[in-house]
Amino acid sequence: MEVYIEKLQATDAENLYIFELENRTFFEEMVPTRGDDYYNPEIFKKRYEDLLEEQAQGISYFYLIKDKDHSILGRINLVDIDKSQKIGHLGYRVGQVHTGKGFANIALKLLLETIPDNDIVQIKAKTTTNNIASQKVLEKNGFERVATSSEEFEMNGKKLNFVYYTLTIRV
């Protein structure tokens, strides 16, 4: 299947909202919840506008993972970019019906190719100890596991920790 990433645009708001609603339960099995407010249409719209503003300022890059029919398969982001240190933080999620097909891996490779030379020299990522698929995606793309948090937290009745990764981009 042909997959590409496309920067977040104002016209994607409604489709992304539907995507997030359809996958809420699935996502909350692997990552901490965004809370009920996130799924309120008015609040979602405001947060979406804030994301577009962040992107316009170059503080963050937000991409949708799409197929040839322009359907949203997931999202991948490079956020909280520290321009002085040239460090960004990676986040991604793929919809439940699209997992296990390599889309996160492809999207991460594409994202890494879009980073302009010298803009970012290091990317940090974290995942939960139960999200083995995400750990594999990071490691396939050259991220090194640097630490596991000693602090446990409970999510869905399970005790978990965060696993931290770093990718240093050679320039």
pLDDT digits (tens, 9 = 90+) for 114-127: 887 678 999 999 99
| Angle of helix 41-57 versus helix 13-30 axis, rounded to 10 | 100
Helix, strand, or coil (residue 20): helix
pTM value?
A: 0.88
pLDDT at 10 over 90: yes
Going across the sheet that includes 162-168, the strands are 3-7, 61-67, 72-82, 87-94, 122-128, 162-168, 144-148
Task: State residue 170's pLDDT score.
Answer: 65
Per the listing, tokens 């997931």 go with 74
Torsion of CA 114, 5, 3, 166, to 10 degrees: 60
pLDDT of 94: 94
Task: Say if domain 3-168 classifies as CATH 3.40.630.30.
Answer: yes
